[in-house]
Amino acid sequence: MTDPGSTGVTVLGLGAMGSTLAATLLDAGHDVTVWNRSPERAAGLSARGAEAAAAVGTAVAAHPLTVACLLDHASVHETLDPVIAGMRGSTLLNVTTTTPNEARELDTWAAGHGVRYLDGAIMATPSMIGTPEASILYSGSAEVFADLRPVLDRWATSTYDGEDSGLASLFDLAMLSGMYTMFAGFLHGAAMAGSAGMTATEFAARATPFLSAMTFAFAHDAAVVDGGDYTVAGQQSLDFSDLSHIVRASEEQGVAPVPVAAVQELISKQIAQGYGAEGFARIYESLRTDRT
């Protein structure tokens, strides 16, 4: 792709994210063909200059690059299985959220049909697309990533994570796992404080600076994990980290202790194995079920 502005792109899936990706390309001067299972969702993009294809086969034949931004792995197959044989020689960029193994399966399946594949994991909301805050991870063929770069960079900061097409998804989901468990912990705390009448808004005002300040410990715990020595000085020990009093307090207040009880379970597992004197970061070992 030598002239990025002239690259024609087909976008399949015009939900909140697919519509935004298509609109961003239109604004940048690309020829864009769109298709959506419910055709009425293409109207706004048609008015802005996109070609709305009535059939998915027509859409994928329109350009050498097809972007799939659908609901999930199953919907990618449901949409493309009937037309993949006709896509030989073209490129499929899948930015639909999948598991790593689902991304790998799509890569193998596309390759089996002579279709070049790149997997993408969008770490942004639709309103962030096209702004410096947006980030999209990619993995799979380095050659395809390099070829598509002028298009990809329209949307976000593009990061290439390697030839294994499952990696973008893995790193995205790993980050989301951290985010959702953090939010669950925050909301559990809000429920505990709420049992005494504090509003969630008041709790957020108190929790935000405290929790933000605690993130400095990520780098410290990471260094301990990477060093593999959980006896390094300066760590809070697992014995000291016993959270059963928080679990009890939560129950006493009539609040389900689920998030904190899950952490306590990870701690207890290490203590039961005789590691109580070692550092809190050792719960990493409770999580690595592939190593036990």
Residue 130: CB minimum distance to ligand FVH, A: 14
Closest residue by beta carbon to ligand FVH: 15
Residue closer to ligand FVH (CB basis): 54 or 287 = 54
Residue from the set 46, 54, 78, 81 that interacts with ligand FVH by CB under 6 A: 78
Q: Is 13 in the site for ligand FVH (CB under 6 A)?
A: yes
Q: How far is Cα 228 from Cα 52, in angstroms, rounded to an integer?
A: 55
Shortest distance in whole angstroms from residue 18 CB to ligand FVH: 5
Q: Which stretch binds ligand FVH (CB under 6 A): 13-21, 159-167, 202-210, 212-220?
A: 13-21
Identity of the residue numbered 215: T
Pick the piece of the chain touching ligand FVH (CB under 6 A) from 32-40, 84-92, 153-161, 239-247.
Answer: 32-40
- Selected range binding ligand FVH among 57-65, 67-75, 157-165, 273-281, rule: CB under 6 A: 67-75
Which amino acid would we find at residue 153? Answer: D
Question: With binding defined as CB under 6 A, does residue 126 bind ligand FVH?
Answer: yes
- Check residue 57 for interaction with ligand FVH (CB under 6 A): no
Q: Of the candidates 189, 136, 193, 141, which has an alpha carbon nearest to the alpha carbon of residue 165?
A: 141
Q: How many residues bind ligand FVH (CB under 6 A)?
A: 22
Q: Which pair of tokens denotes residue 247? A: 């679990």
**37 or 220: CB nearest ligand FVH:** 37
The correct pick among 22, 69, 168, 190 for binding ligand FVH (CB under 6 A) is 69
**Amino acid making up residue 3:** D
Which residues, in sequence order, are bridge partners of residue 140? 118
**Spatial separation of the C-alpha atoms in residues 97 and 75, rounded to whole Å:** 11
User: Residues 177, 143: contact at Cβ < 8 Å?
Assistant: no
Q: Is 75 in the site for ligand FVH (CB under 6 A)?
A: yes
13 vs 259, beta carbon nearer ligand FVH: 13
Exposure string over 36-71, b if 16+ CB within 10 A, otherwise e: beeeebbeebeeeebbbbeebeebbbbbbbbbbbbe
d(CA 47, CA 28): 16
CA separation, residue 253 to residues 24, 124, 191, 217, 243 (Å): 49, 37, 9, 29, 16
- Is residue 125 a contact residue for ligand FVH (CB under 6 A)? yes
Up-side HSE of residue 180: CA atoms within 13 Å toward CB?
A: 6
SS3 191: helix
Q: Is 15 in the site for ligand FVH (CB under 6 A)?
A: yes
Q: Which residues contact 273 (CB under 8 A, 6 or more apart)?
A: none
Compute CA 5 distance to the chain's CA centroid, rounded to the nearest angstrom: 28
Among 1, 4, 31, 37, binds ligand FVH (CB under 6 A): 37
Letter for the amino acid at 39?
A: P
Which one, 36 or 235, has the nearer CB to ligand FVH? Answer: 36
Residues 172-231 contacting ligand FVH, CB under 6 A: none
Instruction: Please give the residue ranges that form the binding site for ligand FVH (CB under 6 A).
Output: 13-18, 36-38, 41, 69-72, 75, 78-79, 96-97, 122, 125-126
